[in-house]
Amino acid sequence: MSSSDLHPSHRRRITSGAVGIGLATGAYGLSFGAISVASGLTALQTQTLSLLMFTGGSQFALVGVLGAGGGAVAAILTAWLLGARNGMYALSMAPTLQVTGLRRLAAAELTIDESTAMALAHPDPPDAARHAFWRTGLSVYVLWNLGTLLGALGAAAIGDPATLGLDAAIPAAFIALLWPRLVDRTMWAVALAGAAVALALTPVLRPGLPVLAAGLVALIAAMLMGRRP
């Protein structure tokens, strides 16, 4: 986690950005904690997900499927589908981080969208990328888990989640996660195609399976786009 080659002002700017990202993500953690409890998980189960799974989109997917009455297999597959991208991030970050042993396990846990993006945004010098990765990963991890705890305890104290409309928060959270990625016509087309497939299959499949089918639409689209010259 060395940052010895960084100028102090550069280091402070990176750290400040990392903390800002952590604060913003912590707000999502509040939503996840409340939504998870509203979906039927206990506060302890909810906190365990954030501590061990620690990938926001996958966590929302898991509790969303379970909350809709889907089985554990469908919930796990949906979460895995959304979290598989972190493996690609790990491959791209390995040459930069150059970690072994326990630090490698810690890096694997902290390899998420935000930490990877910050590292890639500060490629020079190499210590800057490492500093950005670790500071962002740690900031998001701590504040995401704190937000989860507060959201879960708050929702558990409410009782009926429908009282504050938490039963409608899961689709809203998915839209919030998806919206920033709709950057061009191709992404819109893929999103609309996936939504159409999910809507068509919802009346005939168990909860969770339509989401998996929509995810397969995105995977097929990605494969086809990857074969273009």
Q: Helices (DSSP H) in the chain: which residue ranges?
A: 8-38, 43-52, 56-67, 72-83, 85-97, 101-110, 113-121, 126-158, 169-178, 185-201, 209-226
Q: Using N-to-C axis directions, what is the helix angle for 8-38 and 169-178, rounded to 10°? A: 150
pLDDT computed for residue 146 by the predictor:
96
CA angle 100, 104, 108 (to 5 degrees): 160
What does the pLDDT look like over 85-95, one tens digit per residue?
A: 888 889 889 99
Query: Residue ranges per domain, the chain?
Result: 8-164, 182-229
Nearest to 65 by CA among 202, 196, 188, 175: 202
Residue with tokens 């039927």: 40
What does the pLDDT look like over 192-211, one tens digit per residue?
A: 888 888 788 878 776 667 77
Determine the Cα–Cα distance for residues 20 and 52; give it in Å rounded to an integer.
Answer: 23
What does the pLDDT look like over 31-79, one tens digit per residue?
A: 889 889 888 899 999 999 999 999 888 898 888 888 777 778 888 887 8
Nearest to 198 by CA among 217, 222, 178, 176: 217
CB neighbour list of residue 80: distance below 8 Å, 6 or more residues apart = 58
Note the pTM of the prediction, 2 decimals. 0.75
What does the pLDDT look like over 93-134, one tens digit per residue?
A: 999 998 999 999 999 999 998 899 899 888 878 789 999 999
